[in-house]
Chains A and B, each alone.
Chain A
Amino acid sequence: MSAVVLGIETSCDETGIGIVRGTRLLANVIASSMEEHARYGGVVPEVAARAHLEALTPALSQALAEAGVTLGEIDAIAVTSGPGLAGALMVGVAAAKALSLALGKPLYAVNHLVGHVGVDILSAGEAALEYPTIALLVSGGHTSLLLVRDLISDVELLGETIDDAAGEAFDKVARLLGLPYPGGPEIDRAAEGGDPNAIRFPRGLSLPKDMAQHRYDFSFSGLKTAVARWVERERDEGAEVPIADVAASFREAVVDVLLTKAIAACEERGIPRLLLGGGVVANRRMREVADARCQAAGIQLRIPPLSLCTDNGAMIAALGAQLLLAGHPASGLDFGADSTLPVTRIQA
């Protein structure tokens, strides 16, 4: 019988507790503090950390009930030790250590980004993801392009955002257009019926001069400023801002640059596989364009179900279960929260 692993994720604004048995998902409980951040227009670290502390033990009990397992049946604990918001991570790290001691079970401290890749195994069924694969992980907290040669032993960072995360850009442009937080779904809604080619917004780090140094890196702060300038000019001229066109054109610019670089990585590295992860996958246009372009390029596209794409504890449990299965020793008790944990450190 496969091992039962409980995963704890508190790196941003979702308190996630997941339970897996080997590669089978048993429970995936997520308590989000998103609504509390809405009035601030973005994630406030202290608000997120407070919410984690309140949500953690109720989510733990709920996950056990949903999974139909008792604490005694848990074989190991896994927890996100980074990257993420330090104060938020610490809540999960402290709880995981104490739980591991109370139960007398091994503890695995794992990398959040690699967790986004490892989650695929829970929905793969027979056709498990083949390695190597390219992974594009996009959320409000991160925008990273990875080359995963082996889930538990060999992950390379090809590129990442050098300023805002893509999800942050959605939030900021939504605010600019007078739309509420979180921006992703709002922009998606506003873009309906809009022309994605109405306005040609810049694609960050795509010019030849940038490509030498930042081939697989992203930048969204220039795009955000370009949208702001465009909207301000229209307003100054007394014109009515065509919200649908602006939203559609902005979204197109983000999606275009993300997928252009991801597919370039697949082609240049000779890896015909692309995995998407992170909350921005919820964006309909993102999935459409990914589908079309991957098909055209002969790349196999994997997108886990949305509930496993946004931050969750199941992905941490799944990665922990793979480490356990491979016989990796448990993490010691002395690791901390590492807000900038590199992807090469799959287990802390």
Chain B
Amino acid sequence: MLLAIDTSAGTSVAIVDGGRVLARCDSDDPRRHAEVIGELIAACLDEARIAVTSLDGVVAGMGPGPFTGLRVGIAAARAFAVGAGLPIIPAVSHEAIAFEALEARDRPVIVATDARRQEVYWSAYSGLDDRGLPTRRHAPSLTKVAELEHLVSGFDGYELVQTRTVSAAALGLVAELQRASGRAPAANEPLYLRSPDVTLSAGPKRVTG
């Protein structure tokens, strides 16, 4: 049984077990991650009527996603895992979107989410493999909103799936399948895909003319 947390878009928490979603609690607000994260975790544990001790691991959505919000979920997942003595299972947030999208259609997909500043995070998945896991064609990357359409046209037969939400329930299901298949989890590092916004100053400016 896994607790899954994703804050790459809104704040999403779920508990999954053996391919079933036992609880899901979401907030779509893209700015209040730190405020709602605790209540959503508590509500999920309540809804699933399980004790912390029945969990086997904590899934953390590693993004890509806007940094400040993204970190809230990763920090919470890591701290919860330490507190409960559970392994942390990092997962790529876009795989949750791809998983849901590919279950609903027969075409490969390009997943795109808001990266703010006129940019989007995108990745490409060709379909589900025999275990039901999304097969990645292109790793999460960053591009200008204006260039997205052109980029999609370069992937023959792919459908563009743009979403404002990422489901921790889907992320948890993907993580379960990955675990069962013996595949290594994603790297335990946030997918920022952008350097911190700083410019090196050229030294102090003159104050006298």
Contacts and interface: CB of A to CB of B under 8 A. Distances in A.
Q: Do chains A and B stick together as partners?
A: yes
Interface of A: 39-41, 44, 46-47, 49-50, 52-53, 56-57, 60-61, 71, 86-87, 89-104, 107, 172, 175-176, 225, 228-229, 232-233, 236, 333-337
B54 interface: no
B38 A98 contact: yes
B82 A60 contact: yes
B154 interface: no
19 contacts: A40-B198, A40-B200, A44-B198, A49-B71, A50-B190, A52-B75, A53-B71, A53-B190, A56-B78, A93-B72, A94-B72, A94-B79, A96-B79, A98-B80, A99-B79, A99-B80, A101-B42, A102-B79, A229-B207
Given A49-B71, A91-B72, A94-B72, A101 B85 contact: no
Contacts of B82: 57, 60-61, 71, 99, 102
A98 to B, nearest CB: 4
Contacts of B38: 97-98, 100-101, 107, 333-334
B197 interface: yes
A229 B201 contact: no
A94 B207 contact: no
B37 interface: yes
Q: Interface extent on B, as a size class?
A: 35 or more
Contacts of A334: 35-36, 38-39
Nearest to B78: A57
A44 B204 CA distance: 17
Contacts of A47: 196, 198
Contacts of A96: 79
Contact of B75 (A56, A71, A104, A228): A56
Contacts of B74: 53
Given A90-B71, A94-B76, A98-B76, A228 B196 contact: no
A94 B75 contact: yes
Interface in B162-209: 190, 192, 196-198, 200-201, 203-204, 206-208
Contacts of A232: 206-208
Contacts of A40: 198, 200-201
A86 to B, nearest CB: 8
A236 B34 CA distance: 52
Interface secondary structure of B, over-half rule = helix
A335 B67 CA distance: 20
A46 B79 CA distance: 20
A262 B198 CA distance: 36
B73 interface: yes
A94 B37 contact: yes
Q: Which 7 A-B pairs have the closest CB atoms?
A: A102-B83, A97-B38, A333-B38, A95-B79, A46-B196, A98-B76, A98-B80
A89 B75 CA distance: 11
Interface in B57-89: 67-68, 71-85
B32 interface: yes
A233 B208 CA distance: 8
A97 B76 CA distance: 7
A41 B198 CA distance: 11
Contact of A93 (B34, B39, B41, B81): B34
Residue of B32, B35, B36 contacting most chain A CB atoms (<10 Å): B35
Nearest to A102: B83
A103 B207 CA distance: 55
A176 B204 CA distance: 6
Contacts of B67: 46, 49-50, 87
